[in-house]
Amino acid sequence: MSDQRELTPAYSLYLDALRFVAAAAVYINHIVKFPFLPAAQDAPSIWSLLEAYGAPAVTIFFVLSGFVIAYVVDTRERDARSYTISRVSRLYSVVAPAVLLTLVLDVWGAYIDPTLYAHRVVSPKPMTAEGYIVSFFLVNEFQILGFHGIAPGSNGPWWSLSFEAAYYLLAGVVLFTRPRFAIPIAALLLLAVGKTIAVLLPLWVLGLLLYRYREPLARALRWPAFWWGLSTVAILA
């Protein structure tokens, strides 16, 4: 493992800050909606303006995920075994407690305000045991299974974890399988997960490419502080 492959502390801190800001934007996007806050009226409030950053923040997560996967494969997860163990442990360190916490809070919430749950205000789809089970295995967005985006209870943002699991699986096949097997297997996987996951795959691959070509890009890009400032202004605008 060469020193050149390691991310500097400042760069690692920047990625953490980017992840935090994106997570905050997604949180605000969900919390400003009914029933947490009243529906937006004619004049846009600061909350409705902040809500607009939810979708771009998810885009950041997908690009950043691809970048991080390229980094860990380049530095420490150099074989299929270590990659699989690390990806599964990373996913289920979030999945297991999140599913359990969602179940507990939904049972409690339905007890406090059964009308809110009966009218599907907190979840547009019926909350069933099937939703929790298939979401635990992260196949809730795989279109071949026909679940149509089912979620664990009221946990609507869960869909992105199913996307991440699909991308981890696809990356593992492409990176650690011989090309003559990797291409047909990846094609079958794309057919299985469906067009919704497939259409966002280029964003995830963009993260891989940004890591792969980060040094040539850095050398070619003059005045990085200027471009950082310009991109920040563009995002705010």
| Residue range 144-201, pLDDT digits in tens | 988 887 889 888 889 999 999 999 999 999 999 998 899 999 999 999 999 999 999 9
Give 1's pLDDT tier (boundaries 50, 70, 90): very low
For 114-141, b/e burial (b = at least 16 CB within 10 A) is eeebeeeebbeeebeeebbebbbebbbb
| Average pLDDT of span 121-144 | 86
Global pTM? 0.85
User: Which position has the higher pLDDT, 84 or 8?
Assistant: 84
Q: What is the pLDDT of residue 4?
A: 57
Supply the pLDDT for residue 220.
81
Coil, strand or helix at 104: helix
Report the amino acid identity of residue 93. S
- What pLDDT is attached to residue 43? 45
Q: Taking Cα atoms as reference points, which of 63, 53, 3, 45 lies closest to residue 26? A: 53
Q: Mean pLDDT over residues 7-33, rounded? A: 85
